[in-house]
Amino acid sequence: MTTLQLMGQQAKAASYVLAATTTADKNRALLAIADQLEASEAAILAANAEDLAIADGNGVSPALRDRLLLNSSRVQGLANDLRAVARLADPVGEELDGKVLDNGLRLCRRRVPIGVLGVIYEARPNVTIDIAGLALKTGNAAILRGGKETIHSNRILVELIRTALDGCGLPADAVQFIDSPDRALVGELLKLDKYVDMIVPRGGAGLHQLCKEQSTIPVITGGMGICHLYIEPSADFARAIAVVVNAKVQRPSACNALDTLLVRQDAVSFVPQVAAALAAKGVELRLTAEARTALGTPPAGMVVADAGPEDFDTEWLGLVLGIKVVADIDEAIAHIRAHSCDHSDGILTSDVQSAEHFLNQVNSAAVYVNASTRFTDGGQFGLGAEVAVSTQKLHARGPMGLTELTTYKWVARGDYATRR
Amino acid sequence: MTTLQLMGQQAKAASYVLAATTTADKNRALLAIADQLEASEAAILAANAEDLAIADGNGVSPALRDRLLLNSSRVQGLANDLRAVARLADPVGEELDGKVLDNGLRLCRRRVPIGVLGVIYEARPNVTIDIAGLALKTGNAAILRGGKETIHSNRILVELIRTALDGCGLPADAVQFIDSPDRALVGELLKLDKYVDMIVPRGGAGLHQLCKEQSTIPVITGGMGICHLYIEPSADFARAIAVVVNAKVQRPSACNALDTLLVRQDAVSFVPQVAAALAAKGVELRLTAEARTALGTPPAGMVVADAGPEDFDTEWLGLVLGIKVVADIDEAIAHIRAHSCDHSDGILTSDVQSAEHFLNQVNSAAVYVNASTRFTDGGQFGLGAEVAVSTQKLHARGPMGLTELTTYKWVARGDYATRR
């Protein structure tokens, strides 16, 4: 039996215990982990310093270094997040669709944990605490595989989680950690379908693609969004500018940030107006010929270029926006269908027929009328937590909350019932 | 672009039309297909005769020949099934969890079709009509790949579906058929993730395993059930015998048929009683040493053998039953966890604590108290239709009805809302 198979077996055994653990006991464990985090702050920061020293030696980018970094306030934040998860409602145990069938069987669907989650993520030690907390809350065991850049931080974080679980009388193996940078182990985890019920990639498009291609376990795919806003002349341009700017610049590295603005041909006067606002935020533009004509002279200092053949299939993840002029709403919809990743797309209009047509015809995970695409987020959607954002269509779409870490089983009670 | 890529592109385009088609229009098409089936009966039976002639030439088993066979009453049955699907409620368009968020956004989840289904099945021409009808009802396009043994039957069935769709003003490409026995095309279909949203295998364990291993598209896995009943001394033995016999013999080739009987050590007097009833139905037994001792002298003519090392991991699909004596309910649960396929498992008892413990601890798709495992079925569960039976945990578990052929999108309406 390989190390990973053993981990799988242990995780499965732990998952049975967790599935039968009361909400109160699960919450007690979450609070114990939070306390342990605070109590272990010095040790956590020391381990994190080791990761940072290696990162600095490798000359990592400031952005990556920031993702690696833990400090006192971030540790405190993680502890507080766990306490917030403890306060959320527990979806496990809920019974749905209860009924008595004609054959006399009393039947319902009961929400139960999924079982064992395999979570693969990149250089963010906070994910270790975050996902362990969400898994524990929903009675799932987890096998974690974090980025090699954070292996020292992850090691101590998982140790303290396991210590806290053990102290609460819960199985430490509910949270396990692949303590090796060997990439072959990711491949092995993705095929551990005997024990692992669901793979959650937390990272960029490449990681999601890898999981989709290699996994024999169901994967929550996402990690990428090419997001669109389409504007009609009836929109309130002044407020529409604020929405476009918000969608583009509020957090440009997010997958729900705006990538492409589609402008109806009789609304092209919007182009220079929105460009002026975007220029003030340092946004660059990629323009079709018609959009370039509509823009006229670019605002002073703004970088403007012709849109290349792949620009409308690019997730910018930065301060770049593509602009294309379309003949009508159906051309906008066709463009979105061809270029979107089914993440988040919206319309800016005052016309009710256009709004409904767009909502009906665009089949992205989130579709908006007169709102920023940046709202596609578990917290913003009031889910209390965000496990992942799915852009595939099975099980869950868009932001996933605690409920999406559960499945159901059919519970049937008969009086020695036989099928005719 | 390969033939399959073109089919995928056409299916995706058709799926957009179907998604915007009213329930009334979808039902009209279902009825038109039913009429077309009846009108084309002679041609269907002629095509089916070609498949049968080839099958007979290859000396297929009577069971396979029966699965291939269409006759007048079966064609009539398919037409009637389509009319029944037309009468079912359409889940598409339902809005769930509507709310206004603190940020002012009005949000709900709206049920929408999944998009494009890839359906891979074996030598059953009835699946062609069945799945096309269910897909159409839920606004999904489908790419069908039936068994090569039924290619003539499937070809004409798909032709008449497409004719009926076209006659109703719906895109014929909503239902397409891979008209080639080339197995490489199955592999290509399983990787057509650009266009296909979900793979539904309809067949045995081997087909499901193939799809799980090769597909980059989410798969509804199932196709196999090793089903258990566990009996305690408090059970009403006379009625429990009827349940065991029903679970084993009512349709032994089904995945929800009973495979293993677990008997608590103080209920072993059940063994000879149930054996007598099973012997009368021609059932063979595979017994552990303790079960053999409990049985004593087998009923006259009953085939009885010692259970081999793999017998408790075998889905019998025929008139064979394994029997094992267990010390207590927890040994029964441990056995089920180790050997079940998470399909259907039940307890026979009069003890309420045992019943609840079993329901809580056994995490199969369907768990039963005092009922036959044979109830795990879309029709029996009142779903109106059965698309497939899932034994994986994401998206759907157990029998899947029309609702499980839908997903949802988040629909959000703001007044030029921006994220803080």
Say yes or no to pLDDT of A134 above 90.
Answer: yes
Which residues have a Cβ under 8 Å from the Cβ of B192 and sit 6 or more positions away? B4, B5, B8, B118, B143, B217
What's the confidence (pLDDT) of residue B115? 97
Q: Nearest CA of chain B to the CA of A97: how many Å? A: 11
* B408 part of contact set with chain A, CB < 8 Å: yes
**Chain-chain contact of A103 with B380 (C-beta, under 8 angstroms):** yes
- Which ipTM score applies to this complex? 0.95
In this prediction, residues A251-259 reach a mean pLDDT of 95
Say yes or no to pLDDT of B203 above 90.
Answer: no
When mean pLDDT is compared across B80-84, B273-277, B384-388, the lowest value belongs to: B384-388
Say yes or no to pLDDT of A108 above 90.
Answer: yes
In this prediction, residues B222-229 reach a mean pLDDT of 93
In this prediction, residues B389-404 reach a mean pLDDT of 94
Q: For the segment A82-103, what is each residue's pLDDT rounded down to a tens digit?
A: 999 999 999 999 999 999 998 8
What's the confidence (pLDDT) of residue A399? 95
Q: Are strands A398-400 and A388-390 parallel, antiparallel or unpaired?
A: antiparallel
Q: Rg of the Cα trace of chain A?
A: 24
In this prediction, residues B30-50 reach a mean pLDDT of 98
Question: How distant, in Å, are the alpha carbons of A30, A50, A91, A160, B196 from that of A36?
Answer: 10, 20, 26, 6, 46
**Chain-chain contact of B369 with A216 (C-beta, under 8 angstroms):** no
In this prediction, residues B101-128 reach a mean pLDDT of 94
**Chain-chain contact of B375 with A242 (C-beta, under 8 angstroms):** no
How many Cβ atoms from other residues are within 10 Å of residue B171's Cβ? 19
Residue in A250, A397, A417 nearest the CB of B372: A417
- The answer to whether B230 and B326 have CB atoms below 8 angstroms apart is yes
pLDDT tier at B386, thresholds 50, 70, 90: confident
* Residue of chain A with shortest Cα separation from B9: A338
Say yes or no to pLDDT of A223 above 90.
Answer: no
Task: Give, as one character, the DSSP assignment of residue B293.
Answer: H
What's the confidence (pLDDT) of residue B123? 87
Q: For the segment A322-342, what is each residue's pLDDT rounded down to a tens digit?
A: 999 999 999 999 999 999 999
Q: Which residues of B fall within a CB distance of 8 Å from A352? A: none
Which residues have a Cβ under 8 Å from the Cβ of A413 and sit 6 or more positions away? A105, A106, B355, B368, B369, B370, B371
Helix axes B72-87, B23-39, angle to 10 degrees: 170
A:327-346 residues touching chain B, CB 8 A cutoff: 337
Q: Which stretches of B181-278 are assigned E, i.e. beta strand? A: 198-202, 227-231, 258-264
Residue in A19, A376, A417 nearest the CB of B371: A417
Residue recorded with tokens 């341009």: A237
Mutate to test the interface with A, among B196, B344, B381 (most CBs of A within 10 A): B381
Task: Give, as one character, the DSSP assignment of residue B222.
Answer: B
* Residue of chain B with shortest Cα separation from A367: B411
Looking at this protein, which amino acid is placed at residue B237? F
Mutate to test the interface with B, among A231, A339, A416 (most CBs of B within 10 A): A416
What's the confidence (pLDDT) of residue A364? 96
- The answer to whether B65 and B56 have CB atoms below 8 angstroms apart is yes
Count Cβ atoms within 10 A of the Cβ of residue A87 and give its class: 0-12 exposed, 13-18 middle, 19 or more buried.
exposed
**Chain-chain contact of B413 with A371 (C-beta, under 8 angstroms):** yes
When mean pLDDT is compared across A58-67, A71-80, B318-327, the lowest value belongs to: A58-67
Residue in A105, A399, A416 nearest the CB of B242: A416
Q: For the segment B252-299, what is each residue's pLDDT rounded down to a tens digit?
A: 999 999 999 999 999 999 999 999 999 999 999 999 999 999 999 999
In this prediction, residues A249-268 reach a mean pLDDT of 97
Maximum pairwise Cα distance, chain A: 81
Say yes or no to pLDDT of A384 above 90.
Answer: no
State the Cα–Cα distance between residues A340 and A338, nearest whole angstrom: 6
Residue in A219, A236, A414 nearest the CB of B371: A414
Smallest Cα–Cα separation from B400: which of B190, B134, B193, B203? B134
In this prediction, residues A33-47 reach a mean pLDDT of 98
What's the confidence (pLDDT) of residue B374? 97
What's the confidence (pLDDT) of residue B317? 94
**Chain-chain contact of A409 with B418 (C-beta, under 8 angstroms):** no
Q: Nearest CA of chain A to the CA of B399: how many Å? A: 9
What's the confidence (pLDDT) of residue A52? 97
Q: Which residues of B fall within a CB distance of 8 Å from A410? A: 365-367, 376, 381, 397-399
State the Cα–Cα distance between residues A348 and A350, nearest whole angstrom: 7
pLDDT tier at A385, thresholds 50, 70, 90: confident
pLDDT tier at B25, thresholds 50, 70, 90: very high
Q: Which residues of A fall within a CB distance of 8 Å from B211? A: none
In this prediction, residues A216-225 reach a mean pLDDT of 92
If you average pLDDT over every residue of chain B, what do you get? 96
**Chain-chain contact of B408 with A397 (C-beta, under 8 angstroms):** yes
**Chain-chain contact of B240 with A416 (C-beta, under 8 angstroms):** yes
Q: Which stretches of B94-225 are assigned E, i.e. beta strand? A: 95-100, 106-113, 116-121, 141-145, 175-177, 198-202
Residue in B99, B397, B409 nearest the CB of A408: B397
In this prediction, residues A42-69 reach a mean pLDDT of 95
CA A99 to chain centre: 35
Percentage of the residues of chain B whose pLDDT score is greater than 70: 100
Mutate to test the interface with B, among A394, A404, A413, A415 (most CBs of B within 10 A): A394
Residue in A19, A411, A418 nearest the CB of B242: A418
**Chain-chain contact of A20 with B363 (C-beta, under 8 angstroms):** no
Smallest Cα–Cα separation from B33: which of B68, B72, B81, B88? B81
Q: Nearest CA of chain B to the CA of A89: how many Å? A: 16
Smallest Cα–Cα separation from A275: which of A317, A237, A309? A237
Looking at this protein, which amino acid is placed at residue A304? V
pTM metric for this prediction: 0.94
Q: Rg of the Cα trace of chain B?
A: 24
What's the confidence (pLDDT) of residue B384? 84
B:199-258 residues touching chain A, CB 8 A cutoff: 212-213, 216, 218-219, 236, 239-240, 242-243, 246-247, 250
Q: For the segment A388-420, what is each residue's pLDDT rounded down to a tens digit?
A: 899 999 999 999 999 999 999 999 999 999 999
Say yes or no to pLDDT of A309 above 90.
Answer: no
Half-sphere exposure of A128 toward its Cβ, with a 13 Å CA cutoff? 33
Q: For the segment B334-360, what is each residue's pLDDT rounded down to a tens digit?
A: 999 999 999 999 999 999 999 999 999
Q: Is A58 helix (H, G, I), strand (E, B) or coil?
A: coil
**Chain-chain contact of A376 with B408 (C-beta, under 8 angstroms):** no
